[in-house]
Amino acid sequence: MIRNPILPGFNPDPSICRVGDDYYIATSTFEWYPGVQIHHSRDLVNWKLVRRPLERASQLDMRGNPDSCGIWAPCLSYADGQFWLVYTDVKRFDGNFKDAHNYIVTSPTIEGEWSEPVYVNSSGFDPSLFHDEDGRKWFINMQWNHRTESYGGSPKSPAFDGILLQEWDPQAKALKGPIRNIFAGSPLGLVEGPHLFKRNGWYYLTTAEGGTGYDHAVTMARSRTIEGPYELHPNRHLITSKDHPEAVLQRAGHGQYVETPDGQVYHTHLCGRPLPPKRRCTLGRETALQKCVWREDGWLYLENGTTVPEVEVPGLGGATRAEKPVRSEYAFDGGTLPADFQWLRTPQPERIFNLTDRPGHLRLIGRESIGSWFEQALVARRQEHHSFRAETVVEFDPDTYQQVAGLTHYYNRHKFHAVVVTLHEKLGRCVTIFSCDGDYPNGRMTFPAGPGVAIPAGGRVQLSMEIRDNDLQFFWQTEGKGAWQPIGPVLDAGVVSDEGGRGEHGSFTGAFAGVFAFDTSGRAKTADFDWFSYEEL
């Protein structure tokens, strides 16, 4: 059985591609570097992260990109003996504009080096590339209309001004021919996330609608010609939970169709799993997969006969889900950052961390403050469970309160909690808490543990946090001396979510657990982390 979500934690906007018996899913990474996550499977049940292809400054530089900008909705396809990856780099979020630039990169293999990007257009985000049976290629994306009161936290339907279609010339590496607006969307509105495929002489278009919150949906339409007009699915929506608040998988929308070699059909979609009582999705938008069927009317339907996605659906050949380790330990011994980890925005990671100055340790180089949009030393992995414990040990000897290093539960500059080692003018070296519990737009921190607890100068300090659904408790201990000591009150972990703080549509990435350091004195103080662990509770 396939158990959803197949990609837990922050893995939204899934684009699926099959090559032979191999399946690949590309998901959005927003401001996290390197860009785009690609997972691989041969049974649709077990998935492994195999590549993040946007890894060079020439491909992607997100320094200065606001929170929830960067890589939106990639589209992965295979044609002409190579993989094609289409992606958007969004440079603005608030206000009337998005400044969304679309690019194409290619590679003969998923694991290999990907090409330099080719710029396509900037008319809107969520681009997709369709390879037609006659060899022609078509580029589609939503069109953004800035002439409305469409602000980040309150999207207005008129800003989502239909789906544009234009032919792509791979030889000239440019668009050509007329630009056509082929689909205005359904009455639900907010049409985006287009994907085209062809079957039995019909062009099928799936789009995401309703915004990426609780009204989200996969809408389907079809036409005998690629230019349209497109007629809506009898149900309008192929997948949605918008009228079913009791469904486990909420916020269902934005996905892509795929066929197996033996003709079985599936459709990916993003989803969220809210926690009571505030219905906050602390794991962000995750990837799920639904079994579908074609009916005699030539339309695709969920196999369960409804539009509501299920947690368990039939897989291929009796495949079962491999058990994952309850506890993941990272020793930083390999000379390269473990695959689970990413950092923020910069294509120059050597300025914020390395694993060579002190072998066996992750050395963070203190740069700008936590929450900076330019250069902050924060290295983290996705939260994949509603309840977990993370631990680390740090060697850090600050000589000013402007030098800070620690462990964080992080979403963006407005939503994070952190237990830190720093310097206090009366306490000396100390452990304390920094917290920003959704204060938008100011990002003001609070200090739930006050000035903190004095600790001896020098030596290693262990830091940990336990998150149980909506509650977070920090702990610390001087390594080898005593037991874990709680510090500060129980904090609101649920604010570190899409819905936290600013609320639905105000941001849409996911929660991370990781380590960070900053030095706002400009002296680049370093902090050495020997190991990191993440354990499901």
Active site residue 227: no
C-alpha 175/C-alpha 482 separation (Å) is 66
Which residues pair with residue 27 across a beta bridge?
37
As a whole number of angstroms, the distance between CA 105 and CA 126 comes to 15
In whole angstroms, give the CA distance from residue 461 to residue 528.
11
d(CA 182, CA 228): 6
Q: Which two tokens stand for residue 106?
A: 């290619």
C-alpha 342 chain-centroid distance:
11
Cβ atoms of 44 and 86 closer than 8 Å: no
Q: Which of 55, 167, 368, 375 is catalytic?
A: 375
Q: Are 239 and 302 in contact (CB under 8 A)?
A: yes
Q: How many Å apart are CA 462 and CA 329, to the nearest integer?
A: 15
Q: How many CB atoms lie within 10 A of CB 70?
A: 26
Contact 253, 209 (CB under 8 A): yes
DSSP letter at 306? S
For the chain, the straight-line distance linking the first and the last C-alpha, in angstroms and rounded, comes to 24
In terms of phi and psi (left: phi > 0; alpha: psi -120 to 50; beta: otherwise), the region of 179 is beta
**CB–CB of 254/226 below 8 Å?**
no
Q: Is 244 helix (H, G, I), strand (E, B) or coil?
A: coil
CB 409 within 8 A of CB 465: yes
Active site residues: 375
